[in-house]
Amino acid sequence: MSVRVLIVDDHAVFRAGLRLLIDAEADLEAVGEAGTARDAVFQARALKPDVILLDIVMPDQSGLDVVPTLLHERPETKVLILSMQDDPQYVRQAFSSGASGYILKEAADTEVVAAIREVAGGSSYVHPTVGARLVAAENADARRAEEDPLSDREREVLRLLALGHTNQEISAQLFISVRTAETHRAHIMQKLRLSSRAELVRYALDQGVLEQ
């Protein structure tokens, strides 16, 4: 039984090329096309595709924004993002919205076909170039978190604590509850492995927190 594919892209010529590519494979079938996000939802409902090839840049709504709607219509359908955007941020957004794969438009024909088969079979797929950048970005984020484990709000609380403010005063200055201020303080001490206020002040001085 063929994998049923819906092609969603606002360029008719590009859609036609994809249709020829897909229909040339014995196990794949292009069952329809859509040029807008709205039409994609309608076609998904009517055609019940196994895989939706979806561009990000659409005239009426971002492809990433319409993914949840498409999956609501057809929970069993897999969405494969096909985009010119190679920024890891888009990949993260695509997967968090429910997409099963992300491939660049510059990919070779054989790679597009392979990606369709992968997501149709229940696996995830990321274009190798984008995957490498995603790993590099995640490693950089991990290094930053190691070097400075505190969030921006925690750094604010750290600064006020080091300046001698009480939890009540911090609560008033940052418009948070006293309980939240206490929780932030506990998290800071835990993350930095500090056991006293003196150590906290020393850390703040060493990191230049008081100069911010």
Is 0.75 surpassed by the pTM of this model? no
Cα gap 29→125, rounded to integer Å: 19
Cα gap 84→103, rounded to integer Å: 9
Q: What class does CATH assign to 3-139? A: alpha beta
Q: 152-211 domain in CATH 1.10.10.10?
A: yes
The proportion of the chain whose per-residue pLDDT surpasses 90, expressed as a percent, equals: 41
Query: Residue 67's closest CA among 45, 32, 37?
Result: 37
- Give the pLDDT confidence of 30-73 residue by residue, as tens digits: 999 999 999 999 999 999 999 999 999 888 888 989 999 999 98
In the block, residue with structure tokens 């506990």: 186
User: Which part of the chain is CATH 3.40.50.2300?
Assistant: 3-139
User: Which part of the chain is CATH 1.10.10.10?
Assistant: 152-211
Cα gap 145→148, rounded to integer Å: 5
Q: What is the mean pLDDT of residues 137-162?
A: 71
